[in-house]
Amino acid sequence: MDLPDLRINYDPVDPDQFDRPVTSFCLETSKDNDDLPLHSHRKGQLVVASHGSVMCRAPGGLWIVPPQGAVWIPAGVQHSNCVADFGKLYTVFIDPQVSMLPRTCCTLMITSLVRELIHRLSVFPPLYPLEGPTSRLGRVLLDELVQMPTTDEMYLPISNDARLQQLATSLLNNPGDRSTMDEVASRYAMSESTFARFIAKETGMTFGRWRQRLHILIAMQRLTAGSSVQAVSLELGYESPSAFITMFKKTMGQSPRRFLAERSRLINSDSLP
């Protein structure tokens, strides 16, 4: 997927060197580390944010790791994770032979128990004894994960069509572009009606909803990283902060202020250490 460079600023882990069914690692980001290109693992990967924002990209779209949530990337899928400077995340690697999670990328809403199991497993060495407390802990985590519900609210569909990827790249690089659908359609030598059908076919959404979803993902990433509501609304091209707040509340069911307060509460009381 030829999308804009998403900075990868943490030291990568090679999970395939550890012959265990499930392993968990805690990773903390610094600033200005080297970029990590798109890559894949023999094992599936579950990404959980503790502090800061995490956005994942893979064939088919972009995902943001929400509060009380995780992004699942199946084994063998090319992906990359964009992590905020000085962020903290947990990444769980699961052998495909024991995984019963979906075969496509998705967002999972996880419980406090699952988060605590992930943290606890990360404390132990990845080459733990195959028979013992740590191994049993891993099996409990696997049993719990298959019961977690999925959600598509934190996902921006992007098919393999070169035109859609070009459009996604353009809007991610310039999210404040408020061109009308007719103006965007003309860039691809399409009529407005043809373009509308094209977007619906490739994404399952209207152009307006698709662009709005992109704005929501960018907004959550920026807000979590510390940007102000005013700065985010300006970057996304809204006429005023109140217009942005209205859109955010209508889409997410809560205001940006409430979103940040809820995330802060989770970090301080119910999230991973």
Q: Residue 255 burial by CB count (10 A; 0-12/13-18/19+): exposed, middle or buried?
A: middle
pTM, entire model: 0.80
Contact 64, 53 (CB under 8 A): yes
The more confident residue out of 143 and 153 is 143
* Residue 243 phi, psi (nearest 5): -65, -40
How far apart are alpha carbons 112 and 116 in whole angstroms?
Answer: 6
Place of tokens 């265990």: 20
How far apart are alpha carbons 134 and 124 in whole angstroms?
Answer: 7
The residues that bridge with 158 in the sheet, in sequence order, are 60
How far apart are alpha carbons 96 and 118 in whole angstroms?
Answer: 18
Classify each residue of 196-224 as buried b or exposed e, where b means 16 or more C-beta atoms within 10 Å of its C-beta.
bebbeebbeeebeebbbbbbbbbbbbbbb
Which tens digits make up the pLDDT trace of 246-261? 999 998 899 999 988 8
- Which 8-state DSSP code applies to residue 271? S
Which fold does the domain 15-151 belong to in CATH? Jelly Rolls (2.60.120)
Q: Confidence band (pLDDT; 50, 70, 90) for 270?
A: very low
pLDDT at 265: 67
Tell me the pairing of strands 80-83 and 54-58. Answer: antiparallel
Q: Nearest to residue 135, comparing CAs of 116, 121, 119?
A: 121
Q: Is the pLDDT of residue 98 over 60?
A: yes
Q: Confidence band (pLDDT; 50, 70, 90) for 51?
A: confident
Provide the residue ranges of all domains of the chain, joining segments of one domain with +. Answer: 15-151, 160-263
Q: Confidence band (pLDDT; 50, 70, 90) for 5?
A: very low
Rounded to an integer, the average pLDDT of 202-206 is 96
Q: Is the pLDDT of residue 33 over 50?
A: no
Domain 160-263 has CATH 1.10.10.60: yes
Rounded to an integer, the average pLDDT of 78-106 is 87
- Which 8-state DSSP code applies to residue 168? H
Rounded to an integer, the average pLDDT of 115-141 is 95
CA atoms within 13 A on the CB side of 22: 24
User: What contacts 179, CB < 8 A, 6 or more positions away?
Assistant: none
User: What contacts 158, CB < 8 A, 6 or more positions away?
Assistant: 1, 3, 60, 61, 62, 164, 165, 168, 203
